[in-house]
Amino acid sequence: MKVLLIEDNAALQTTLQRSFERRGLQVVLCGDGGRALDRWRASVPDVVLLDLSLPGTDGLSVLAAARAEGLVTPVLILTARGTVGDRVLGLNTGADDYLAKPFDLDELEARMHALLRRAAPARGAAAPRGDFAGLTLDDASDAVYLQGKPMELSAREAALLRALLARPGQAVSKERLTELVFPGLAEVAADAIEVVVYRLRRKLQAAPVQLVTLRGLGYLLRRAPT
């Protein structure tokens, strides 16, 4: 299971990440509501854990925007706001479940698995998305296909390609890609993203696309000239 944790409390981020990874779950972190949707699109999570009190954009606004955009990932709200009114508002905005802080980790994981089981039929029936110049991103399997065949990509290469496929033809800044490809890392080497770009570019040589470097702007994916 891949979990997107949208939570600005650094101590809680660390605790949950360590606990989940010990249980074999993959965790993507985001501590800023203003960046949450970009991280959601790029990481293609199975479950989203969403705090309501976030810097930049509050959790309910993030949730409303995600649902309006068509993002159907199950969402479990984690918040200190435990009143009935807050729970009803969260559920009516599009959340699938609600757990007030403080909570038990075993109960949290059980609720996450329950959400995933309920969402499984819909995910299994979902059509592939991110179709661009022969490249297809499959939400259900989290795989990227080239001309119908799965590409052999590392986790970082796949994260980079997913981020670029979300905005084909549009530049994505080096800083934003670094956040998406190296989530949760406090320090990343200045040229780390360039190394991943180089490796991905080599694997895209057979594809009718170009991974273009725009100096000062970032990177974009475009159709190769015929």
How would you classify residue 35: left for phi > 0, otherwise alpha for psi between -120 and 50, otherwise beta? alpha
Q: Are 118 and 147 within one domain?
A: no
Domain range holding 180?
129-223
**Bridge partners (DSSP) listed for residue 213:** 219
Low-confidence ranges of the chain (pLDDT < 50): 122-129
Bond into 102 cis (ω within 30): yes
Q: How far apart are the first and last CA of the chain?
A: 40
Q: Are 117 and 152 within one domain?
A: no
Q: What is the pLDDT of residue 128?
A: 42
Q: What is the CATH number of the domain that holds 62?
A: 3.40.50.2300
Q: Are 32 and 115 within one domain?
A: yes
Q: Are 11 and 121 within one domain?
A: yes
Separation in Å, CA 208 to CA 53, 193, 203:
43, 22, 12
Domain count for the chain, please give it: 2
Q: What is the pLDDT of residue 35?
A: 92
Q: What is the pLDDT of residue 77?
A: 92
Q: Are 58 and 154 within one domain?
A: no
15 vs 13: CA distance, rounded Å: 6
